[in-house]
Amino acid sequence: MSDLISAKQILKAQSEVFQSSLGILKTPCILLAHHKDQRHNILSIPNRLQTHLRVPEKIDLFGKLENVQNTGSFKIRGVANQLRGLNKGDDNHLVTMSAGNYGRTFATACKAYGFNGTVIMPESAPDNRAELMTSLGITVERLPTSQLMRGVSEHEGKGSKFLHPFDDLDLIAGYGSLGLEILEDVPDADIVLVCCGGGGLLAGVATSIKLFSKNTDVKVYGVEPEIANGMFLSIKRNSPAQIPSAKSIASGLAPPFAGSNAFAHVKKYCDGVLLVSDLEIKQTVCTLFESKLVVEPSGSAALAAVLCGKLQKLEPDLAGKKVVAIFT
């Protein structure tokens, strides 16, 4: 059975995150819609989309903008905590696997701390992401999604240290700092929605929210693409699921398997996983862009669950509730 991180570990990770030299930010949390004053509704859904997306009228909807985090992603919180105990003399070469954001953050951190690194990247990932990592001094190798772990294992066999992109306990604790921040922004939050790929972010945020929130009824839901639903299947099967052919417009939410450490935390602290279609994700990205917010597909899934009505189906009594969607 996987170990679970403690409240003490999350607080220690929060300290490590903000003491690191990686320039990690406390990101804005903005009010997107107010249940009483529609003048606060900054989301603008374009009529041309001919979509069923709607901004709920009866809730206070907040967006936690991790998309403006240094390196453009929440991943830096986890990486900072992963690297805190590494000795360059003993662990000079690091390896990971990533479709983009973790790899970019890994490359930035390796350059800052003087590590050599390799990123094993799915063949389906955009070429510009590989080019960015290479420009930061990282070696990039491309493999089919189903072969990523084989590539990692080959490097481990040569002495490289593997930094897991979503299933490492230090990483999960680092992501717990985001949950603590949300509780500073919206102390009485009723529901927190978290984009979910391998489950590391969902695990960290759900754990910290449940351990530290004064609202004992607070709920945390993960949100996944319908066609890359590894954590949803894991909960259904009560075991970490593998989806070697997972593919979605939200490429960062389509790893080949759900993490076992992440699943253990999700099973204990998360209230469920909602599924959204690729079309709903696309429409949400367009809605955010029309509202002057630039968020990639992987980072828009949590909001999509609200705008497309998936949250309302699970939680029909939302009147007056405070809902936080994390943009990643």
pLDDT in tens, 54-103: 777 788 999 999 999 998 889 999 999 999 878 665 557 999 998 788 99
**Structural domain contains residue 142:** yes
Question: Is pLDDT at 53 greater than 80 in this prediction?
Answer: no
How are strands ordered across the β-sheet holding 60-65?
29-33, 60-65, 322-327, 191-195, 219-225, 273-276
Mean pLDDT, residues 223-232: 96
Mean pLDDT, residues 33-50: 63
| 302 and 248 within one domain | yes
How many other C-beta atoms are found inside a 10 Å radius of the C-beta of residue 9?
19
Q: Please give the full DSSP string across 238-286, using - where no structure is assigned.
A: TS--B-TT---SSGGG--SB--HHHHHHHHHH---EEEE-HHHHHHHHH
**Structural domain contains residue 230:** yes
Q: pTM to 2 decimals? A: 0.91
Tokens 């990971």 -> residue: 96
Tens-digit pLDDT profile for residues 101-127: 899 999 999 999 999 999 999 887 889
| 152 and 207 within one domain | no
Dist. CA 240–CA 131, nearest whole Å? 32
| 17 and 100 within one domain | no
**Structural domain contains residue 33:** yes
The last residue of one of the domains, among 162, 191, 226, is 162
Mean pLDDT, residues 7-20: 96
Mean pLDDT, residues 131-145: 93
| 313 and 198 within one domain | yes
| 114 and 91 within one domain | yes
| 310 and 179 within one domain | yes
**Two tokens at 145?**
């999604």
Per the structure, the count of domains in the chain is 2
How are strands ordered across the β-sheet holding 139-143?
139-143, 116-122, 93-97, 161-162
**Structural domain contains residue 81:** no
Question: Is pLDDT at 150 greater than 80 in this prediction?
Answer: yes
**Structural domain contains residue 79:** no
| 279 and 249 within one domain | yes
**pLDDT at position 265:** 98
3-state secondary structure of 229: coil
Query: Which amino acid appears at position 67 of this protein?
Result: N
**pLDDT at position 278:** 96
CATH number at residue 119: 3.40.50.1100
Tens-digit pLDDT profile for residues 204-220: 999 999 999 999 999 99
Write out the residue range of the structural domain in which residue 149 sits. 86-162
| 175 and 212 within one domain | yes
In contact, 99 and 129? CB cutoff 8 Å: yes
Question: Is pLDDT at 155 greater than 60 in this prediction?
Answer: yes
Query: Residue 44: pLDDT band by 50, 70, 90 thresholds?
Result: low
Mean pLDDT, residues 190-217: 97
How many other C-beta atoms are found inside a 10 Å radius of the C-beta of residue 131?
10
**Structural domain contains residue 286:** yes
Dist. CA 93–CA 116, nearest whole Å? 5
| 144 and 33 within one domain | no
Which region among 184-193, 207-216, 246-255, 315-324 has the lowest average model confidence (pLDDT)? 246-255
Listed residue (106, 41, 50, 82) closest to 172, CA to CA:
82
Query: Residue 176: pLDDT band by 50, 70, 90 thresholds?
Result: very high
Query: Which amino acid appears at position 72 of this protein?
Result: G
Dist. CA 133–CA 97, nearest whole Å? 12
| 272 and 145 within one domain | no
Query: Which amino acid appears at position 213 of this protein?
Result: S
**Two tokens at 185?**
């922004």
**pLDDT at position 134:** 94
The last residue of one of the domains, among 110, 136, 162, is 162
3-state secondary structure of 288: helix
**Structural domain contains residue 1:** no
Instruction: Please state whether 117 falls in left (phi above 0), alpha (psi between -120 and 50) or beta.
Output: beta
Dist. CA 108–CA 267, nearest whole Å? 32
**pLDDT at position 39:** 58
Question: Is pLDDT at 301 greater than 90 in this prediction?
Answer: yes
Which residues face 219 on adjacent strands? 191
Strand 29-33 and strand 60-65: pairing? antiparallel
Query: Which amino acid appears at position 210 of this protein?
Result: K
Dist. CA 304–CA 63, nearest whole Å? 12
Strand 139-143 and strand 219-225: pairing? unpaired
Question: Is pLDDT at 1 greater than 80 in this prediction?
Answer: no
Mean pLDDT, residues 133-155: 93
Element (H, E) at 10: helix 7-19
- Angle in degrees, CA 50, 56, 57, rounded to 5: 120
| 193 and 142 within one domain | no
What integer best gives the mean pLDDT of the chain?
A: 91
3-state secondary structure of 87: coil
**Structural domain contains residue 307:** yes
| 221 and 151 within one domain | no
The last residue of one of the domains, among 103, 133, 162, is 162
**pLDDT at position 141:** 97
Instruction: Please state whether 50 falls in left (phi above 0), alpha (psi between -120 and 50) or beta.
Output: left
**pLDDT at position 82:** 94
Question: Is pLDDT at 25 greater than 70 in this prediction?
Answer: yes
- Angle in degrees, CA 24, 30, 32, rounded to 5: 145
